[in-house]
Amino acid sequence: MSAPAWFAPIARRLPGPRWLVIGVPFIWMLLFFAVPFAIALKISFSKALIAMPPYSPVVSWEGAVLTLKLNFDNYLFLVRDSLYVNAYLSSLKIA
């Protein structure tokens, strides 16, 4: 039994079973790796607060303007502290 004639153009546009094999692991990795990584990256650019949640918002609406507040102090601390720089350089040497 074949598909009706009106379904042929739709069937050509639908992804085949090959995309299903690739798509399921891709969605799994996106859900359980990329999303938590993006959340951790967002928190790394925020400022620590004694509040709930314990960090300041990176993106906020102030009036009718969307503001982006990035805090690079956490990364500057890593570069300026010799302990972290030496640990990084020694790990490169070992690798």
Average pLDDT over residues 75-94: 96
Cβ atoms 84, 75 nearer than 8 A: no
Residue 41: domain span: 5-94
pLDDT at 3: 67
- The pTM of the full predicted model, rounded to 2 decimals, is 0.67
Average pLDDT over residues 39-43: 95
pLDDT at 2: 66
| Residue found under tokens 């799994």 | 28
* Bridge partners, 62 (sequence order): 65
Cβ atoms 56, 47 nearer than 8 A: yes
Provide the number of structural domains found in the chain.
1
Q: Which of 65, 43, 62 is nearest to 54 (CA)?
A: 43
